[in-house]
Copies of this chain bind each other. A is one copy, B any other.
Amino acid sequence: MTHQVLVGGRWRDAKDPVGAFTANDPAQGVPIPGEYPISSWLDLAEALAAGAGAAPALAQAGPDRIAGCLDALAAGLERRADALIDMARLETGLPAASRLRSSELPRTTGQLRQAAAACRDRSWTRATIDTKLDIRSKLGPIGGPVAVMGPSNFPFAFNAVGGGDFVAALAAANPVIAKANPQSPGTTRIMAEAAFEALSASGLPAAAVQLVYHFSPEDARKLVSHPLIGASAFTGGRAAGLGLKEAADRAGKPIYLEMSSINPVFVLAGALKERGRDIAAELFASCTLGAGQFCTKPGLVIYQEGPGDGGLSEAIEAAFNGAPADIVLGRGVVRGLEAGVERLKKLGAELAAGRGEAEGPGFRFRPALFRVPAARFLKSPAEFQVESFGAVSLAVAAKDVGEMTAVAAALEGQLTATVFSARDGSDDAAYAVLEPLLRRRCGRLLNDKVPTGVAVSPAMNHGGPFPATGHPGFTSVGIPAAMTRFAALHCYDNVRQDRLPFELRNENPTGRMWRLVDGEWTQRSIG
């Protein structure tokens, strides 16, 4: 059986698909019954037209109705929890209880409800009113449907339907054209069934959420640069991301990309001395969490080598040596990791710990820790910074703070950068040197804490300078900031009250919405 796409407000067969694919069970390495179509441009053309048609209706529907839909979707996902968790476990090999049920599903529904609250609150629109000149502005929808292409590693939280980018785009009143990750089409289908039901229950246009499962790279570029598209969001590998970016940029279409990050962790000398073994345990856990398939996995650990490392080397090597092989998302992940291992070897890094046979069926990989002297790293810094998606990390042994500083100065843009330093102040001088170098190279700067675990907080930045993402001013996690990516700045000059959006009228529409009126943030109505 071939599954149906959700296009133009109804589930239907793909039109003239260019092919079909199956998802695989990575635990066993076998295909999962059921085929998914690879859409031709026909489906995308219809989705674009329907999405563009739904955009004004969605904007008109207003934030309360969109909030209702987001809440309904959260509830719908909870009602489907068993089916979702069974399917996601089957498609991704991720643990059902410890990860999918207890952590990722609540995170996903929590994010939906935060976005619903932000919709109702409306403060995210940054309504700004100049009463003397009668000029008023706010963030509004970006002007067309948003294409969302999700990653493989979070089947719920970053799913193209119901995940972070989807939620941000829809909460900002934009229709979504979602492309499933080919790793988890079944999970995405169930999420889309819940979304379709939620749209209908809340009276929103049926074409406000559309789903296809796959399309060609050429059609992807055509989609993100199409005149009817409002913006796009992509989370995945750097090569694919850069291809989409080029197409979207040329057409002047906003695109938000999360493309790669090796999340350097600097362990300063005082911290090593103080708690080397504890840090080793934290780092090992962070490097191997979710089989290392996290965008914030520490791929690079820079520390001051020598006998004073407080047991860090010994402890982290023992941990890697004792690590079992983990199920990974697919054959492609194994291949990518094997290629990464070869690349590191060729560059002159040595295997420090882990690796070895990955017993068992399906797609598995045994965590590996490589090591290289900082001087060697500094000879080929770009090559050493190619991300390995999975449990491969590189320890960089520096002779002194000078070498650590040189490594920091050679880093590309990153999602995160972390510094472990001593509590007694002995690392403060080194920190002061490193901090400005890291600050301009990362989105989130952490101290004494591993970077995996990206809280859905208004203060979060899951973003960073190119090539980690496409623009250093935006985050893809955190409500309401993530919503502003899918917004245009709408200014009204001398427009009468009854023609203004409610957010900009004299009366505060909720009585609680924060607005910048004549230079002061206030919840009051005007006049």
**Which residues does A use to contact B, with CB under 8 Å?**
55-56, 59, 123, 128-130, 133, 135-137, 139-144, 245-246, 249-254, 413, 416, 431, 435-436, 439-441, 443-449, 451, 455, 457-461, 463, 465-467, 470-475, 481, 484-485, 487-496, 499, 514, 516, 519, 521
Contact = CB atoms under 8 A, between A and B. Distances in A.
B252 A470 contact: yes
Nearest to A488: B472
B252 A139 contact: no
6 contacts: A55-B440, A129-B459, A252-B413, A445-B491, A446-B495, A447-B492
B460 A491 contact: yes
Nearest to A231: B472
Contact of A473 (B129, B487, B516): B487
Contacts of A467: 252
B472 A489 contact: yes
A60 B461 CA distance: 22
Contact of A488 (B141, B446, B473, B481): B473
Given A139-B473, A443-B489, A473-B488, 16 more contacts: A56-B436, A128-B459, A130-B455, A130-B458, A133-B457, A137-B460, A252-B466, A252-B470, A443-B490, A444-B492, A444-B493, A445-B495, A447-B494, A448-B494, A463-B489, A473-B485
Nearest to A440: B143
A150 to B, nearest CB: 22
Contact of A436 (B59, B130, B488): B59
A494 B59 CA distance: 38
Question: Taking the full assembly, how many copies of this chain does it contain?
Answer: 2
Most chain B beta-carbon contacts within 10 A, residue among A142, A465, A491: A491
B494 A459 contact: no
A136 B521 contact: no
B133 A455 contact: yes
A141 to B, nearest CB: 8
Contacts of A440: 55, 141, 143-144, 488
Contact of A489 (B250, B448, B474, B491): B474
A253 B470 CA distance: 8
B466 A489 contact: no
Contacts of A485: 473
Most chain B beta-carbon contacts within 10 A, residue among A59, A467, A519: A519
A85 to B, nearest CB: 26
Contacts of A487: 473
Given A459-B130, A461-B490, A489-B461, A250 B254 contact: no
Contact of A491 (B443, B514, B519): B443
Given A458-B519, A473-B254, A447 B495 contact: yes
Contacts of A471: 254
B488 A458 contact: no
Nearest to A469: B252
A509 B431 CA distance: 23
A253 B466 contact: yes
Contacts of A466: 251-253
Nearest to A491: B461
A49 to B, nearest CB: 14
A465 B439 contact: no
A521 B515 CA distance: 10
B249 A439 contact: no
Contacts of A449: 493-494
Contacts of A416: 493
A455 B251 CA distance: 30
A507 B143 CA distance: 40
Given A440-B143, A458-B516, A499-B435, A473 B484 contact: yes
Contacts of A493: 416, 444-447, 449, 451
Contacts of A441: 143
A358 B223 CA distance: 49
